Amino acid sequence: MTTRAVQYDFSGKVVVITGGSRGIGRAMALGFAAAGAQLAIASRKLETCEATVKEIRALGADGSAHAAHVGKWEDCNRLAEEVYARWGRADVLINNAGLSPLAPSSVETGEELFDKIIGVNLRGPFRLSALFGSRMAAGEGGSIINISSTAAIRPDPETAPYAAAKAGLNILTVAFAKEYGPKVRVNCIMCGPFHTDISKGWSRTEDFAKRAKETFPLQRAGEAEEVVGAALYFASPAASYTTGAILTIDGGSAHLITRTTYES
């Protein structure tokens, strides 16, 4: 049995994180960097990825920045090629990039917006999991971690396409776990309400604070850093017998609120 220190030592490992330049993605990137990993940070804006890479290097690790729109098939292909060209391997893929715009109503949701939401939240993780997972399975193995949302099990009309995409991501977690096991483990973190730069429009309001205090067991939204431990666990040897799992991190709110648009 390995010790906890060894289990969470990612020295020599390469971790790929989409949406890794801000919010939960950035927190995970810094957490893995502190554990010795090398990071490939991807998002649509190269400059924000480069800023995160600077933070990674300040922690004594190394990283690479990649501009990629995961909703585009060709960008997913290019990202995989860039990562393997730069690092020669990928040990962990974290499908974190997400898009959750509100819509006035379902009938007012246009085809372009619908396709964009499905593309970023479902098509991209599918393609990237296939690209990285197949290489991991043919090589030394690895871990894929999907970042989902409690919208998948508690949908609202305003975010129906997003909720459907995240429910699909939960399903892909199990499907890829079956396809690429036993060498590749595929798991999912299903997030509830978190304070991030994207959510600040609602998560810092008095209305949300009041509702959280009245209805959440932990009485608050989460902080991005509070997902890091789960990601480290799923990626590490400590989770050697864990695959196809969906872990809810939501302050206990999943089954306590009947209506909310508070997604991660």
Write out the catalytic residue numbers.
162
Residue 125 belongs to some domain of the structure: yes
* pLDDT the model gives residue 249: 87
* pLDDT the model gives residue 223: 79
Residue 184 belongs to some domain of the structure: yes
The domain tally of the chain equals 1
* pLDDT the model gives residue 261: 39
pLDDT, tens digit, for every residue of 163-184?
Answer: 999 999 999 999 999 999 999 9
Q: Is the model's pLDDT at 2 over the cut of 70?
A: no
Distant-in-sequence, close-in-space partners of 220: CB < 8 Å, separation ≥ 6: 209, 212, 213, 251
Residue 224 belongs to some domain of the structure: yes
CA angle 72, 77, 83 (to 5 degrees): 120
Domain CATH for 204:
3.40.50.720
Residue 256 belongs to some domain of the structure: no
Q: What share of the chain is helix, strand, coil (3-state, %, to 5)?
A: 50, 15, 35
Average pLDDT, the chain: 88
Q: Is the model's pLDDT at 212 over the cut of 90?
A: no
Q: Which residue shows structure tokens 């990562």?
A: 83
State how far the alpha carbon of 109 is from the alpha carbons of 40, 82, 158, 160, in Å. Answer: 34, 35, 9, 10
Neighbours of 111 (CB within 10 A): 7
Residue 261 belongs to some domain of the structure: no
Residue 88 belongs to some domain of the structure: yes
* pLDDT the model gives residue 237: 96
Residue 162 belongs to some domain of the structure: yes
Distant-in-sequence, close-in-space partners of 131: CB < 8 Å, separation ≥ 6: 76, 77, 80
pLDDT, tens digit, for every residue of 9-20?
Answer: 999 999 999 999
Beta bridge partners of 40: 16, 64
State how far the alpha carbon of 54 is from the alpha carbons of 6, 29, 61, 83, 213, in Å. Answer: 26, 11, 10, 18, 37
Q: What is the pTM of this model?
A: 0.89
Residue 150 belongs to some domain of the structure: yes
pLDDT, tens digit, for every residue of 109-129?
Answer: 999 999 999 999 999 999 999
Domain that holds residue 171: 4-249
- Alpha carbons 55 and 52: distance in angstroms, whole number: 5
Beta bridge partners of 14: 38
